[in-house]
Structure 1
């Protein structure tokens, strides 16, 4: 149905709310925004219909008939157009402005006043109320007068201003100053000319994309990747380390039965050799090349829990023990720059030590470095800079950041502030640049960090992690893992009957089942961008993304006890984290005004007025806090919590710690006296999100072993743990799953295709700065 009785039928410039829209150029000007926003033609078409509706509800069918005539569009195209309009009307410092209202299962309505803007008189006309006169009118704009160029209104100039001031005689020092300033100006112009000439004549190599097209007229091939894969066998090749000259790569290979062999090969595609033979039942991991290139240190883990750090000749043989360790996760060590010692991160188990230590290989003596650390901190992957000046490490790699201190210990500096999941890091050779891997959305990527300016650069490598850099060569090695994960409903007592849900060729993860055992949400990049998806399992065709939200990958969403609402962490267009409350069935979303700058997880309790938040405070410590959402008063706090789930059956909170493996519980009021340990070693630190609360106080944990890639360990309340093998060959995603209330089924993300290879690439040298001190002085620091 066409609406033609609108006063804005012929208007090209409209004032919509506080924004100005030019329909012919499809531009939106938002007060305070840094730039104009550009709409698509279909979004403009939807906006025209909403404006002409005079504030009434416009149904989806009307919008389809007006904007997409003679076609059969899907609901997604209309949803995308409305989403673009909402983003265009939002200010730079806002998560979204309520200009357009969604009427569930009906259509949309414009909520703000609309007025036509004259091209001569920019003052707005009498505004039209977008909701039957409910909205207040816009303020009248002052008329703009046009003055004749060069004309001066003498009436506006004070009389005494028209008198000429007496001319003072020139002095000699003024003439000297003028010549000095002229000389300085000429010198600056000459310097700028030299800099411009050098920049114009600087040779730049063509990019891979440019090299694929000859002179911009003829296609000569597809762009070459900036890296090449040197392994192509089945299984996983991980944790690479480069010889100092970059000619050889050592890594952990697990393609054989039992896995865990250290392989060495050239940085080309020559066949690999085994460094040393391992005993039966042992696993060799974490190879690390010495600074002189003669030796390789690595860790050997035994089935009975023993662990030792060994050093072998790079050619094989001459095996000797450096130290003993405990067979648990997150063991980390690196060579000192002089090759005389190993620097270790925090260790647990029998040989536990909180903090970073240096082991002298000749004497076997340990030296603990003096620096500040809390009891719930776990310091991982310490590495001393090539010049021996700095030591950088990752604090709490599950939700951590990079920190720096002097190599001999001392005051700490925080280099990043993301509470990210780190996947390895390395020095780039100049003791200033760092490359690190971290999980972003559904993949892991590599970033380059300048430790002085704190600036980041994406290296442009998809699915890359665990970087290593040659000490004396311009070469980078990394792990390339491109897995596809699908959602499965797996019967606990009959895993062979697993059923795949919502098949796609993308990565689906974090399936969260509602307490009604009917609704499911999960994260996926199946639409080309990372989003949260919702479906009613009884009606699979209901699957749809939740618009206006970019979910956070660190923690899964949490359902309310009545299965109506969700708490989800996400970021806005400026990267600011927020806690969102979603009513997925009605497609409603809002930002909660939580008094937390860096939220990590949000949970409902059985009291609708109380919420649980895991946050990181200004002291960089992680804590679980209970809030009264009526006034956002903090009622109680527990420190060192990495993840929590609310157990509605037993009215308790189950949680994991940053500084230790295992599982704990506390009552709903977070009373310290009620804290008790449920498991001593499960979950492990690295798989701290791979557990779920089922009915009757049970906790389900996804683990992996040499005989079962995805095993389920059911930890009962006061009962003996029961284990099941859900899938013997496929790994499960470690960032969240859920169980049905009766415990008969688990909803889990399993790898459909998986594997990891070693990639190598030359590092892209940054162009040298001309007059670097001068250039750095001109940089504006945030």
Structure 2
């Protein structure tokens, strides 16, 4: 460390011991890399003063040359470890644009000889701290070291972005894409007055099961002896079961075929496995099936029409699901209860879009069903836990007014399970903008939340044993970086950004006319727009301290960058700034907007509206601001203008039940000029080819997502890139045909957690 002086600093609920080289929150150690810890020490010692970047680099790396991006990565790590400035409503590390960083939280230095074992949060200005002997702290520290299991987040569930719910399959692809976009736009910053308690990490045990391949859902049996999971092998989904012990061999329960699967759960007696299934072509809504375990057999069809993981009454005689009716003028979501065989259906509660319901859990006493109610207000929406009386549908909010769970609720709640004694629920929650989903314990009836996990991984799904001694979930680790490939030549692609946790290019990248790359990154600790040379050097941050900014597009003359931001509070809109990041101006003001691109003549910005309550359309707005002009008459998204500026391409849905197509329009709108069918493996991200002769899009038919081309003359689609691993997430072509793309490697494992209570 740059200085060996032993000091003890207290700020918020944290205690920083420079002598022992550790950071604690209460009795729990906060895992940090050595350099991240040294960065924190330097900032805290100079609390309240701006530390220039060069000063920080010399303090942390005195004898080594490192780039500023490395320092930014350490700042990102610290912000995540400290809860991204959410403790006590206090931001800890402030970015000073083009200068450096400042530690802004109140800091109190304590006598080192009286080092405390824990520290509790106090109000600003309250210097009272609970002090115990240094020997006690050392004993507690050495008794239970933390095992960190990984440090890379998944900002929105799976590519292309966050999940809208725990189980959405079998609908038209354009609806799925619209829901994914809507979920992305729901992610806005929520300030909390107090950080919830964290589970005792020293006691909690986490074990990753040796299950190979791509796993999309998993569940543990009530007795904890079996684990069932959905495997995805190049788009072919199947259901497997294995014993939880490490040497067990997996057996296939349901073979791949014409159906896609989701929403696994065991029956309460452990003798059956329930799952949802729907035709891959989306011709029918998802239905509920069961299969015997562990021997398998012929699956049994139980219930038609579900859009959530099912939940069963304690006696197993009734089942509740969320059902979505997209045929209404505004889609309706309902909680439907029926007998286990699907008879005697009744609607318990209902919501009309843009509000919707998801994630259910039937209480152990059979009286209540916990449910997630998602609202559009305050924009761009929030998720709240409610309980619904199973007998008559009477609703009761689960105390969302708690000081550490403010009235705006959570960003997303993906899955729920009750504890067997009814004292609370385990939930997969997202509490902050574009942050990974974590596991929480929500007390009942108080609603008090407590973290179970607190890291940079993403977690999906909640499954408990009957005694709640074991929790099973999926843990996802995603690393993305920017690559450059001349003419899209995959074997000769060069990686130009390095390191986990920054998600460089994940939310968009583009070329400038002079050959630089403008991209979105979280290297600063928030989603911002950056610029760098084509070889990755001279990275420069263009936006800062303005909530989330992503999806850059550079005007043909290089003068402007347009992007999407929620800096105005809540909703995401299209913004414009000068190429150096100055003079930032809002261009759109409707519900939500996304996918903004400048036209070749530099006069217009073309974009898509995003509104879950009604169809989305393609629009254009003058780059200097002014009234927007609607260009399409049916549900459409992912626009991209042609190189000559005369046309644009987008996804287009002829009617509510039809699959999407690629459509080419005049830049002035009107009827489609050309329509092309797209495969089921189509993953949007439409981009016009530099020569103007084809439409490029992402497709994962062979595994990793690659770029494919649809010739405008009507020929068959052809593959453009051939990346064998690390699929393409976002991309753009320079004027000379050089490809810049964000590629990511995602690993998902089935994880068992014990002693989490």
- The TM tier, using the shorter chain, reads 0.5 to 0.7
C-alpha change, 1:486 and 1:581, in structure 2 (3 Å) is: same
TM-superposed CA distance for 1:295, in Å, is 1.1
Q: Return the match for 1:720 from 715, 720, 724.
A: 715
Identify the structure with bigger relative contact order (alpha carbons < 8 Å, sequence gap 6+). Answer: 2
* Higher percent of residues as helix: 1
Output one character per residue of 1:489-535: Cα deviation in whole Å (capped at 9) or x when no partner.
34677533333333445543335223637221233455777654312
C-alpha change, 1:515 and 1:271, in structure 2 (3 Å) is: same
TM-superposed CA distance for 1:426, in Å, is 1.8
Output one character per residue of 1:181-239: Cα deviation in whole Å (capped at 9) or x when no partner.
xxxxxxxxxxxxxxxxxxxxxxx9x9xxx9994156x6874557544123134433331
Counterpart position of 2:467: 473
C-alpha change, 1:365 and 1:212, in structure 2 (3 Å) is: farther
Q: Return the match for 2:275 from 291, 298, 302.
A: 298
TM-superposed CA distance for 1:322, in Å, is 1.0
> Does residue 1:509 correspond to 2:509, yes or no?
no
Counterpart position of 2:255: 278
Q: Return the match for 1:518 from 490, 515, 518.
A: 515
Q: Whole-Å Cα distance in 1 between the matches of residues 136 and 590 of structure 2?
A: 49
Q: Whole-Å Cα distance in 2 between the matches of residues 759 and 367 of structure 1?
A: 36
**Residues 645 and 692 of structure 1 are in contact (CA less than 8 Å); yes or no, is this contact kept in structure 2?**
yes
The DSSP-based 3-state class of the residue aligned with 2:505 is strand
The DSSP-based 3-state class of the residue aligned with 2:531 is strand
Q: Whole-Å Cα distance in 1 between the matches of residues 752 and 438 of structure 2?
A: 13
C-alpha change, 1:40 and 1:455, in structure 2 (3 Å) is: same
Alignment of 1:530-549 (within 5 A): 531-537=528-534, 540-546=536-542, 548=544
> Does residue 1:425 correspond to 2:415, yes or no?
yes
Gaps of 5+ in 2: 1-42, 76-88, 101-129, 149-200, 401-405
C-alpha change, 1:573 and 1:674, in structure 2 (3 Å) is: closer
> Does residue 1:251 correspond to 2:229, yes or no?
yes
Counterpart position of 1:14: none
Q: Whole-Å Cα distance in 1 between the matches of residues 230 and 136 of structure 2?
A: 35
C-alpha change, 1:368 and 1:730, in structure 2 (3 Å) is: farther
**Residues 260 and 285 of structure 1 are in contact (CA less than 8 Å); yes or no, is this contact kept in structure 2?**
no
**Residues 647 and 667 of structure 2 are in contact (CA less than 8 Å); yes or no, is this contact kept in structure 1?**
no
How many equivalent residue pairs? Answer: 576
TM-score between both structures, scaled by the size of structure 2 = 0.58
Output one character per residue of 1:153-200: Cα deviation in whole Å (capped at 9) or x when no partner.
xxxxxxxxxxxxxxxxxxxxxxxxxxxxxxxxxxxxxxxxxxxxxxxx
TM-superposed CA distance for 1:468, in Å, is 0.8
Output one character per residue of 1:617-655: Cα deviation in whole Å (capped at 9) or x when no partner.
797987765555767545549786664434453333625
**Residues 709 and 731 of structure 1 are in contact (CA less than 8 Å); yes or no, is this contact kept in structure 2?**
yes
**Residues 714 and 722 of structure 1 are in contact (CA less than 8 Å); yes or no, is this contact kept in structure 2?**
yes
Counterpart position of 2:696: 700
Q: Return the match for 2:552 from 550, 554, 557.
A: 557
Counterpart position of 2:480: 485
Alignment of 1:82-101 (within 5 A): none
TM-superposed CA distance for 1:316, in Å, is 2.3
The DSSP-based 3-state class of the residue aligned with 2:352 is coil
> Does residue 1:315 correspond to 2:294, yes or no?
yes
**Residues 683 and 698 of structure 2 are in contact (CA less than 8 Å); yes or no, is this contact kept in structure 1?**
no
**Residues 264 and 276 of structure 2 are in contact (CA less than 8 Å); yes or no, is this contact kept in structure 1?**
yes
Alignment RMSD (CA, Å): 5.9
Q: Whole-Å Cα distance in 1 between the matches of residues 728 and 367 of structure 2?
A: 38
The DSSP-based 3-state class of the residue aligned with 2:310 is strand
C-alpha change, 1:597 and 1:502, in structure 2 (3 Å) is: same
The DSSP-based 3-state class of the residue aligned with 2:209 is coil
Counterpart position of 2:206: 228
Q: Whole-Å Cα distance in 1 between the matches of residues 475 and 485 of structure 2?
A: 29
The DSSP-based 3-state class of the residue aligned with 2:274 is strand
**Residues 411 and 433 of structure 2 are in contact (CA less than 8 Å); yes or no, is this contact kept in structure 1?**
no
Q: Whole-Å Cα distance in 1 between the matches of residues 263 and 443 of structure 2?
A: 26
The DSSP-based 3-state class of the residue aligned with 2:721 is strand
Q: Return the match for 1:214 from 123, 131, 139.
A: 139
Q: Return the match for 1:737 from 721, 731, 736.
A: 731
Alignment of 1:383-402 (within 5 A): 387=366, 389-390=368-369, 392=371, 402=383
C-alpha change, 1:231 and 1:764, in structure 2 (3 Å) is: closer
**Residues 577 and 599 of structure 1 are in contact (CA less than 8 Å); yes or no, is this contact kept in structure 2?**
yes
Counterpart position of 1:336: 312
C-alpha change, 1:241 and 1:503, in structure 2 (3 Å) is: same
The DSSP-based 3-state class of the residue aligned with 1:214 is helix
Alignment of 1:85-164 (within 5 A): none
Alignment of 1:334-413 (within 5 A): 334-337=310-313, 339=316, 340-341=318-319, 343=321, 345-346=323-324, 355-356=333-334, 361-362=340-341, 371-374=350-353, 387=366, 389-390=368-369, 392=371, 402=383, 406=388
Q: Whole-Å Cα distance in 2 between the matches of residues 626 and 77 of structure 1?
A: 35
C-alpha change, 1:572 and 1:314, in structure 2 (3 Å) is: same
Q: Whole-Å Cα distance in 1 between the matches of residues 293 and 658 of structure 2?
A: 35
**Residues 484 and 493 of structure 2 are in contact (CA less than 8 Å); yes or no, is this contact kept in structure 1?**
yes
C-alpha change, 1:317 and 1:613, in structure 2 (3 Å) is: closer
**Residues 287 and 296 of structure 1 are in contact (CA less than 8 Å); yes or no, is this contact kept in structure 2?**
yes
C-alpha change, 1:277 and 1:541, in structure 2 (3 Å) is: closer
Q: Whole-Å Cα distance in 1 between the matches of residues 686 and 665 of structure 2?
A: 19
**Residues 568 and 581 of structure 1 are in contact (CA less than 8 Å); yes or no, is this contact kept in structure 2?**
yes
Output one character per residue of 1:716-747: Cα deviation in whole Å (capped at 9) or x when no partner.
3361341327346424254x3224457x5543
Q: Return the match for 2:266 from 275, 289, 292.
A: 289
Counterpart position of 1:52: none
Q: Whole-Å Cα distance in 1 between the matches of residues 676 and 373 of structure 2?
A: 26
C-alpha change, 1:436 and 1:101, in structure 2 (3 Å) is: closer
The structure with the largest alpha-carbon Rg is 1
TM-superposed CA distance for 1:757, in Å, is 1.0
TM-superposed CA distance for 1:315, in Å, is 2.3
Alignment of 1:128-207 (within 5 A): none
Q: Return the match for 2:427 from 431, 435, 440.
A: 435
The DSSP-based 3-state class of the residue aligned with 1:588 is coil
Output one character per residue of 1:637-685: Cα deviation in whole Å (capped at 9) or x when no partner.
97866644344533336256799752465857885x536884555577x
**Residues 647 and 654 of structure 1 are in contact (CA less than 8 Å); yes or no, is this contact kept in structure 2?**
no
Counterpart position of 2:104: none
C-alpha change, 1:738 and 1:421, in structure 2 (3 Å) is: farther
Deviates more, 1:315-324 or 1:524-533: 524-533
TM-superposed CA distance for 1:460, in Å, is 1.0
Q: Return the match for 2:215 from 233, 237, 248.
A: 237
TM-superposed CA distance for 1:296, in Å, is 0.4
